Amino acid sequence: MTATSGEGGGWGGTGPNRAEIIRSGFSTPADSPHVPSFPFSYRNAEILTLAYRTSPDAIARLLPEPLEPTGDVVLIHIYKLNDTDWLGPYTEANIMVGARLPGGAEGAYSPWLFLSSSSGVSQGREVHGQPKKDAKVQLRPKTDAWVGRVRRNGIDVVTGTMAYKQRRCGPESLKRYMDFGLNLNLKVIDHIDGRPAIRQITARRFADLTIHESWEGPCTVELRPNVQAPVYRLPVLEMLDGFYWRADFTLVPGVILLDYLATPPAAGSSA
């Protein structure tokens, strides 16, 4: 067996040097990076989006200060990602609520995300600050309905259904309840000695979005309690609409909206 050296060092060569280590997009292991660098694209992604009404107090309890809720609607996106650069095919679920930064951006905050890709979990947590966890996520047609499931610890914590392609809709219908294209996240990373290293509100938006088809119709959402996937904390009070859509898009760098470690606490803050 012959050892070879890849870009930035590796077997048979020198390890990564300082310049390589501090460059943007560097990831370990150096000779087989686990986290992709920007940009990377998704092709022929299938998404089931389920909207329902919940308690405003339940949303407020999940938002980090100083984010504010913009409504009482929850969106659950269940993705079947058929062709993704670096990551390959995998599945994912993103639970979102409308939120705004006072005097700033307005979009959708993610209290939980679940997916089947270890690289996707790492990239989401390390780069975006998304609260991703491993889970079994499934989206498939069952005769005359779309059925989406999120399974964690052997429990179907989310089961969603939508009528199969009954009513076409335009892409603008997907933003009926909130601008979920701007995804807000709380990024939390500590130093090895336990000191806070990163405490930020981050935001990202997909680029090169092309929607190939979109449909809307009646839907249902069932939530089951699980301490490791507590989506039940956003109880279903009223079902709204479901959407099935198929799209291409590209993940590009986002922005830092708030740096808690660099910004003095506002008057009246709990800090």
Backbone angles phi, psi at 154, to 5 degrees: 80, 10
Expressed in percent and rounded to 5, the helix, strand and coil fractions of the chain are 10, 50, 40
> Does residue 81 fall inside a structural domain?
yes
> Can you give the CATH number for the domain in which 190 is found?
2.40.400.10
How many Å apart are CA 178 and CA 34, to the nearest integer?
Answer: 33
Please report which confidence band the pLDDT of residue 210 belongs to, taking 50, 70 and 90 as the band edges.
very high
Which of 80, 132, 165, 175 is an active site residue?
Answer: 132
Residue labelled with tokens 């990076």: 33
pLDDT in tens, 77-110: 999 999 999 999 999 999 999 999 999 999 999 9
> Does residue 4 fall inside a structural domain?
no
Secondary structure class of 171 (helix, strand, coil): helix
pLDDT in tens, 166-209: 999 999 999 999 999 999 999 999 999 999 999 999 999 999 99
Asked if residue 4 has pLDDT above 50, the reply is no
pLDDT in tens, 39-67: 999 999 999 999 999 999 999 999 999 99
Helices (H), the chain: 18-22, 56-62, 118-123
Number of domains in the chain: 1
> Does residue 16 fall inside a structural domain?
no
Cis (ω within 30 of 0) for the bond into 264?
Answer: no
Asked if residue 3 has pLDDT above 60, the reply is no
Please report which confidence band the pLDDT of residue 5 belongs to, taking 50, 70 and 90 as the band edges.
very low
pLDDT in tens, 111-161: 999 999 999 999 999 999 999 999 999 999 999 999 999 999 999 999 999
The answer to whether residues 30 and 8 touch, using CB atoms and an 8 Å cutoff, is: yes
For the residues 24-37, what does the mean pLDDT come to?
92
pTM for this model (two decimals): 0.92
pLDDT in tens, 224-270: 999 999 999 999 999 999 999 999 999 999 999 999 999 777 666 66
> Does residue 162 fall inside a structural domain?
yes
Active site residue 132: yes
> Does residue 196 fall inside a structural domain?
yes
> Does residue 270 fall inside a structural domain?
no
> Does residue 33 fall inside a structural domain?
no
In terms of residue numbers, what domain contains 146?
41-259
Q: 3-40 as b/e, with b when 16 or more CB fall inside 10 Å?
A: eeeeebbbeeeeebeeeeeeeeeebeebbebebbeeee
> Does residue 29 fall inside a structural domain?
no
